[in-house]
Amino acid sequence: MKIVDLKCAVIGENPVVRVVTDEGIDGYGEVESYKPYLKPYVLFYKDMIVGHDPTDVERVMNRIRRMGSFKPWGSAVSAIEMALWDIAGKAAGVPVYKLLGGKVRDKVRVYNGAVRFKLPDYSPDGFAEIMRKMKASPEGFTLIKQGIGFHSNMPERVPDFFFGDTHQGFRHPNRGLLTEKGFKHVIACIEAMKDVLGDEVGLALDCGPGWTVPDAIRLAKAVEHLHIAWLEDLITGDYTPYVLADVYRDITRSTSTPIHTGEQIYLRHSFRELIETNAVNIVGPDPCDIGGIAELKWVAEYADLHGILMAPHGTGDGLLGLAALVQVSAALPENYIAFEYPIGDPSWWYDIVDGLPNPIVQNSMIEVWDRPGMGVNLIPEKAFKYLKDEDKDFFD
């Protein structure tokens, strides 16, 4: 079997990769919905993989892996990797988890990162209101993640939130020392959320990046009694092209509150210091950023050897990304907690993908399916109408 083409189309907001072979077996991968600009970066790799056997996944990946980088630039490599595994599973007639070592679990737990409701305001009552809605969501989530602090609009919406200039824009532009007023406001919002969730649903907090070390330690200590599942990306994180393991280690050693990072990190090599120095308690790579699902599994196994837990990121990975997360999470070691549940957005995505169960999530769990490859496929005749004019040959 040989790769004869690499295609990419932006469907909705998600770049979708299609690897085409000379035996009529296609593989699909998907990039986060926040990155519609990545199509040319995917196609950059075409000449490097055409003519090679897609079922030799590692050999093909060795040709392109070193050409990626931290989020968002590793997503193109990651999507190609997942498409290769899709082909390999289909060619062998087995689900991808079989090729990754087999199932450790029949159901995989997910946490809520994408089933969202409009926040009425940035008051404690506003955060309590959305927690009530997420707690009542039919997926029955047992763990919910919520953005606070610098991973929210608090710097712009809460007067005198921190000592620093407030910057407008995306990609979490603010950083600085919180005022006493700002710090107390964050704590009040966390307490309001926990009052709603009680001990029935866990609460994880997406915090930054942007916190200073003193504030990060203050926050972690202040919520120790609340049994928070984790504090995520306090120092570095989303769209940060470095790790700062030594800084995370200082915070982690100061508190019993679990500390988490990793969604932006590309390749196992960049996790090495975090893991070997026990700089965090939980790592959360995204399969669409780390370099694919095999790369994620390698990190999970190495983390497990060091007593570090695994909670993969995935909020924008779409339905093809969801399938990849199900397959790899089924095969992860017992340090696995849950992965961040992505949704199809716009909602017509559910009409153009075949193979997903209905409902997908029950009691915060997804039953692992056994169809070959990733177990889901685009339906060309239904997806075609959503292709842009320049992508009309995507299914040819």
Judge whether residue 311 has pLDDT over 80. yes
Q: Give the pLDDT of residue 272.
A: 98
pLDDT at 17: 98
Could you tell me the CATH number of the domain that includes residue 203? 3.20.20.120
Give the pLDDT score at 280.
98
Quote the CA–CA distance of 172 and 145 in Å, as a whole number.
17
- Supply φ then ψ for residue 202, to 5 degrees: -75, 155
- Number of domains within the chain: 2
Domain assignment present for residue 88? The answer is yes
Question: Residues 192, 324: one domain?
Answer: yes
Query: Model confidence over 41-98: pLDDT tens digits?
Result: 999 999 999 999 999 999 999 999 999 999 999 999 999 999 999 999 999 999 999 9
Any domain includes 363: yes
Could you tell me which residues come within 8 angstroms of residue 361 by beta carbon, excluding any fewer than 6 positions away?
110, 139, 140, 141, 341
The per-residue pLDDT for 395 is 98
Residues 117 and 156 in one domain: yes
Q: Please check the confidence at residue 248 and state whether its pLDDT lies above 90.
A: yes
**pLDDT of res. 369:** 98
81 inside domain: yes
At 314-329, the pLDDT tens digits run 999 999 999 999 999 9
Let me know if residue 386 belongs to a domain.
Answer: yes
Whether residue 266 is contained in a domain is answered as yes
Distance CA 308, CA 259 (A): 10
DSSP per residue, 84-124: HHHHHHHHHTSBHHHHTT--S-SEEEEEESS-------SSH
What's the CATH number where 79 sits? 3.30.390.10
- My answer on whether 89 and 102 are in the same domain is no
Per-residue pLDDT band for 169 (boundaries 50, 70, 90) equals confident
Task: Please report which confidence band the pLDDT of residue 347 belongs to, taking 50, 70 and 90 as the band edges.
Answer: very high
Q: pTM for the full model?
A: 0.97
Of 65, 62, 60, 40, the residue nearest 50 (C-alpha): 60
Q: Are residues 25 and 124 in the same domain?
A: no
Are the C-beta atoms of residues 239 and 71 closer than 8 Å to each other? yes
Check whether residue 48 and residue 143 sit in a common domain: no
Same domain assignment for residues 79 and 193:
no
Q: Are residues 41 and 23 in the same domain?
A: yes
Nearest to 214 by CA among 183, 256, 240: 183
Cβ count near 62 (within 10 Å): 10
Co-location of 144 and 273 in the same domain: yes
The yes-or-no verdict on residue 358 having pLDDT over 80 is yes
Structural domain of residue 17, as residue ranges? 3-93+379-391
Question: pLDDT, tens digit, for every residue of 208-243?
Answer: 999 999 999 999 999 999 999 999 999 999 999 999
Q: What pLDDT does 161 receive? A: 98
Tokens 């780390």 sit at which residue? 290
Gap between the Cα atoms of 169 and 182, Å rounded: 20
Residues 177 and 272 occupy one common structural domain: yes
| Domain-located, residue 396 | no
- Render pLDDT for 114-153 as a digit per residue (tens, 0 to 9): 999 999 999 999 999 999 999 999 999 999 999 999 999 9
Same domain, 338 and 235: yes
Q: Please indicate, yes or no, if residue 24 is contained in any of the structural domains.
A: yes
- Span 162-176, mean pLDDT? 90
pLDDT number for residue 168: 84
User: How many percent of the chain have pLDDT more than 90?
Assistant: 98
> Does some domain include residue 29?
yes
Do both 208 and 267 map to the same domain?
yes
Q: Which residue has the tokens 């991973």?
A: 151
Q: Are 305 and 383 members of one domain?
A: no
